[in-house]
């Protein structure tokens, strides 16, 4: 018998048998609908973090759950020795609506970034330039938790405990084109960037900087990898965040919201870059399986259909949130900055407010957010959130700040 509704037994098993890497709050959810979740005690919460930008269509989306249920009743897994129609269809849709010509599917954002790292190095290897194998990333970036992706991550705290780190990565200040230009040399094969650094406190790149990075990559004959694990699939008001910056990458990675909660990752690239991998060079047992790709197709269909209002909703609710949060900032000296894009927003507080404490206070009021560092909370709600629901969050935050509670 399952323990879904037994919080005390869940807590016991969690502490005794699960590796302690998450430090979960003592709360468990049993069901969801739209932007709402219900815990084992029947209490209702607004999911303003959306599973960390994963539940793009919200909870219990009819089309998504039907696609998953229908596919599960037919075929969950088929190995990659054979054609997989759902994978082919999802690749077609992603490539048709982006810069890309080819897609590779895996199970997570870290795996997608691993594929991007490998194909960037393989591209120059197969061109007879194996010495071009270094990748430049930004300080305070986050690209995943595998050995290669923590090496790519520009934050020492993720790398130091697991040394020796995978070689071949260099780090420069974000939004500093001069530093990047000085770092590029004959060994550089790629520049890897997030257009919004989510795990450092939601810091968007400057559009001028991104255009300069693209120009530099073209001039120096190196590849541009854009990590859209968190910003892709409608999160910033466009299907892909790079569209907001008026550039075209050579490689892009996706995950999180791509299948609305079913584990999936994707690495997209041009036909030219695709020469960086030959049959047998890469693979994934579960990657591109029928179930995950059926879910991915359901999500993409709801974003790209001619009558879809999802992206319009992201933009309208985003504008509302930024307007109301900045108005709150003007009234309260507790908020230092509101930043981000679309429905990926960071709220930075002054030293009197601790992010972890604010996260707890909001949870007590029925709102789920994430805390980043000492002073920033991040929100990344489902793309379906309404203006009325967004207003509930802002009003509650205002009430907490007015009460001056940490």
Residues in the chain: 406
Judge contact between 11 and 26, C-beta under 8 A. Answer: yes
Residues 6+ apart with CB under 8 A from 146: 110, 111, 114
Q: Which of 99, 104, 124, 142 is catalytic?
A: 142
The burial of 366, by beta-carbon neighbours within 10 Å (0-12 exposed, 13-18 middle, 19 or more buried), is given as: middle
324 belongs to the catalytic site: no
Residue 379's closest CA among 201, 222, 168?
Answer: 201
Q: What is the 3-state secondary structure (H, E, C) of 99-116?
A: CCCEEEEECCHHHHHHHH
Q: Which of 105, 124, 169, 227 is catalytic?
A: 227
DSSP line for 124-146: HHHTT-TT--EEEEEBT----SS
- Determine the Cα–Cα distance for residues 72 and 292; give it in Å rounded to an integer: 10
Tokens of 286: 């579960």
Q: Could you confirm whether 240 is annotated as catalytic? A: no
Q: Where does residue 161 fall: left (phi above 0), alpha (psi -120 to 50 degrees), or beta otherwise?
A: alpha
Torsion sign, CA atoms 12, 261, 369, 228: positive
Distance from C-alpha of 219 to C-alpha of 233, rounded to nearest angstrom: 29
Catalytic residue among 214, 256, 324, 334: 256
Contact (CB, 8 A) for 218 and 243: no
Active site includes 227?
yes
- Look at the alpha carbons of 379, 383, 384, 388 in this order and tell me if their dihedral is positive or negative: positive
Contact yes or no for 297/96 (Cβ under 8 A): no
Report the alpha-carbon distance of residue 213 to residue 219 in Å, rounded. Answer: 10
Q: Is 326 helix (H, G, I), strand (E, B) or coil?
A: helix
Give the active site residues. Answer: 142, 227, 256
């Amino acid at each position: 018998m399952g323990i879904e509704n037994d919080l005390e037994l869940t807590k016991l098993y969690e502490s005794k048998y699960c590796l302690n890497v998450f430090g979960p709050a003592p709360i468990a959810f049993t069901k969801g609908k739209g932007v709402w979740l219900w815990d084992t005690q029947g209490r209702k919460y607004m999911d303003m973090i959306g599973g960390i930008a994963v539940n793009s269509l919200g909870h219990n989306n009819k089309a998504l759950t039907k696609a998953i249920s229908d596919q599960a009743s037919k075929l969950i897994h088929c190995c990659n020795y054979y054609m997989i129609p759902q994978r082919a269809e999802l690749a077609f849709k992603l490539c048709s609506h982006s810069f890309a010509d080819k897609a590779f599917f895996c199970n997570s954002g870290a795996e997608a970034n691993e594929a991007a790292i490998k194909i960037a190095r393989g591209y120059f290897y197969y061109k007879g330039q194996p010495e071009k194998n270094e990748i430049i990333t930004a300080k305070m970036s986050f690209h995943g938790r595998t050995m290669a992706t923590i090496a790519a991550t520009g934050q020492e705290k993720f790398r130091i405990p697991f040394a020796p780190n995978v070689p071949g990565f260099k780090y420069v200040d974000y939004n500093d084109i001069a530093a990047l230009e000085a770092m590029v040399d004959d060994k550089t094969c790629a520049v890897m960037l997030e257009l919004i650094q989510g795990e450092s406190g939601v810091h968007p790149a400057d559009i001028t900087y991104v255009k300069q990075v693209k120009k530099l990559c073209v001039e120096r004959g190196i590849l541009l990898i854009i990590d859209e694990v968190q910003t892709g699939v409608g999160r910033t008001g466009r299907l892909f965040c790079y569209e907001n910056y008026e550039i075209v990458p050579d490689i892009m990675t996706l995950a999180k919201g791509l299948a609305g909660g079913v584990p999936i990752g994707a690495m997209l690239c041009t036909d030219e870059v695709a020469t960086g991998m030959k049959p047998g060079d890469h693979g994934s047992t579960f990657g591109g399986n029928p179930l995950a790709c059926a879910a991915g197709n359901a999500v993409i269909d709801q974003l790209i259909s001619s009558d879809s209002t999802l992206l319009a909703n992201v933009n309208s609710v985003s504008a509302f949130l930024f307007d109301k949060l900045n108005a709150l900032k003007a009234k309260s000296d507790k908020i230092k900055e509101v930043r981000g894009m679309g429905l990926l927003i960071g709220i930075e507080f002054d030293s009197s407010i601790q992010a972890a404490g604010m996260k707890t206070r909001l949870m007590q009021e029925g709102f789920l957010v994430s805390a980043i560092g000492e002073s920033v909370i991040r929100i990344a709600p489902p793309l379906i959130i309404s203006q009325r629901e967004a207003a509930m969050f802002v009003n509650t935050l205002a009430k907490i700040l007015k009460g001056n509670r940490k």
